[in-house]
């Protein structure tokens, strides 16, 4: 089976996403989608301030259950909850700061932070 037929990369090699160098229209389509994804996931985030420690984060509610948070500064340097948790938890296993979570929920209830309609297509 040749490479164009979808064969696996040889063991020990690294498979990179295709560059589509021979298809300028596809390159432009990928670039345009990357710009759209950035706008959707980063540019449309809303600043929210913790009502307790006043640290600012960027937030996007994708649904009632799903919240994306982008920290503007290092959490363990800015948030007392994360500073306390950083000595006992790994970076990926940190519990959510309950005060920040409450501040985000408050922003939703006040209408400052929008949750998209989950029934919309």
pLDDT in tens, 51-108: 998 999 999 998 888 898 988 888 888 888 887 766 665 555 666 889 999 999 999 9
Mean pLDDT of the chain: 80
User: Per-residue pLDDT for 9 more than 70?
Assistant: no
Q: Are 79 and 50 in contact (CB under 8 A)?
A: yes
Between CA 40 and CA 81 the distance in angstroms is: 29
Between CA 25 and CA 19 the distance in angstroms is: 12
Q: Give the H or E element holding residue 36.
A: helix 24-38
User: Per-residue pLDDT for 37 more than 60?
Assistant: yes
C-alpha distances (whole Å) from 3 to each of 6, 8, 9, 12 are 6, 8, 8, 16
């Amino acid at each position: 089976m040749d490479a164009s037929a979808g064969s696996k990369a040889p063991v020990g090699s690294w498979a990179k996403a295709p560059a589509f160098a021979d298809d300028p229209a596809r390159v432009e389509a990928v670039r345009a989608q990357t710009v759209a994804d950035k706008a959707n996931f980063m540019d449309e985030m809303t600043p929210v301030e913790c009502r307790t420690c006043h640290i600012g984060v960027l937030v996007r509610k994708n649904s009632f259950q799903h919240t994306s948070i982008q920290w503007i500064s290092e959490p363990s340097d800015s948030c007392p909850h994360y500073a306390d948790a950083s000595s006992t938890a790994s970076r990926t296993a940190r519990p959510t700061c309950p005060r920040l979570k409450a501040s985000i929920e408050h922003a939703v209830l006040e209408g400052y932070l929008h949750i998209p309609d989950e029934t919309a297509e």
